[in-house]
Amino acid sequence: MNAVVMRGFGSPDVLRYETVADLRPATDEVLVSVRAATVTAGDCELRSLDVPLSFRLPFWVYGTVFRRDGWILGQEVAGAVAAVGSDVTDYAVGDRVFAATRFRFGAHAEYVALPESSPIVPVPGSLSYERAATIPTGGANALHALRAGEVGAGDRVLVNGAGGSIGTYAVQLAADRDAEVMAVDAGEKLPLLRELGADRVVDYRVTDFAATGEAYDVIVDVVGAAPLSRGLDALRPGGRYVVGNPTVATALRAAWTSATTDRRVVVSPADYDAADLAALAERVVDGEIRSVVDRRYPLAEAAAAHRYVESGAKRGHVVLAVAADGA
């Protein structure tokens, strides 16, 4: 099969489009013929080893010792079941599915094998593979952030990094909860964020949200770029601050803040529950929320997709078209 193989850590140049050994599912695995996958900021961070310090050494050891023959990235996938292991009971050949690969990765290939226990979900109705592929990372993390922040009607919610994979879902889901949503990102993304339901928008290159004197009930910091101390200054008493990509220092500060003040800082990861993914997919089908796809690249051009994601210009999701949607 063809796949994009990461050989070492570094720039997108470490990615190679190659022919690798065909996969066969283990007894408890589902083999998915990949129709669409995505390139996320997380894929780019892992490739460049731009990850929190606590993960850097484990990922380096795993990538250089246990994956000496190369590493196939990709955290979310949609496609058709091509084969199942002898112990698999819930899936059959031909089923249209989408899934989070989580720390197995492997979606940037023509096939990926996942344990049946993975969050594998039927693609509902007329939903395309490329739209389905955007749900696991962006949708699950956005839903987790709003739950962790206990976002409810009337809350003032700020989403920092609102124009990306997680942010575009977070803005819509917060608006759906009747929250007042402030979306922060680059100026060229702001019209889209208004379309998605943001009540107000801020270009971070012009205005520092933490320096305006305004306060929020919940801050969802997708990018984790703003210093936590500054972000906390924009949080109301009793407010909740949900951090994406926390560093060790941020996690320690989060624990201290939550223990010693009336503000709560959340750094826990999403759990990728299959029922949640199924519900999100149905809402995309029904038009209640949008899956925002910015650009599409063929699998062979994954390196170019990485460069575009790293540019910071993407709106929503970048999709790798691995096979024709109806193939």
Same domain, 262 and 317: no
pLDDT tens column, 172-220: 999 999 999 999 999 999 999 999 999 999 999 999 998 888 999 999 9
Determine whether 323 is exposed, middle or buried from the number of CB atoms within 10 Å of its CB (0-12, 13-18, 19+).
Answer: middle
pLDDT tens column, 98-150: 999 988 899 999 999 999 999 999 999 889 999 999 999 999 999 999 999 99
- Residue 194 within any structural domain of the chain: yes
Q: Look at residue 327 in the predicted model and tell me its pLDDT.
A: 42
SS3 159: strand
Per DSSP bridges, beta strands 2-6 and 15-19 are antiparallel
Does residue 10 surpass a pLDDT of 50? yes
From edge to edge, which strands make up the β-sheet containing 15-19? 15-19, 2-6, 71-72
Q: Look at residue 73 in the predicted model and tell me its pLDDT.
A: 96
Does residue 247 surpass a pLDDT of 70? no
| Residue 123, domain extent | 2-134+292-321
Task: Label each residue of 75-111 as H, E or C.
Answer: CEEEEEEEEECCCCCCCCCCCEEEEECHHHCCCCECE
Same domain, 121 and 102: yes
Q: What CATH number did the domain enclosing 223 receive?
A: 3.40.50.720
Does residue 310 surpass a pLDDT of 90? yes
Q: Tell which of 228, 248, 266 closes a domain.
A: 266
Contact (Cβ atoms closer than 8 angstroms) between residue 114 and residue 120? yes
* Overall domain count for the chain: 2
Confidence of residue 56 (pLDDT cuts 50, 70, 90): confident
- The secondary structure of residue 62, as a DSSP letter, is I
Same domain, 256 and 142: yes
- Residue 34 within any structural domain of the chain: yes
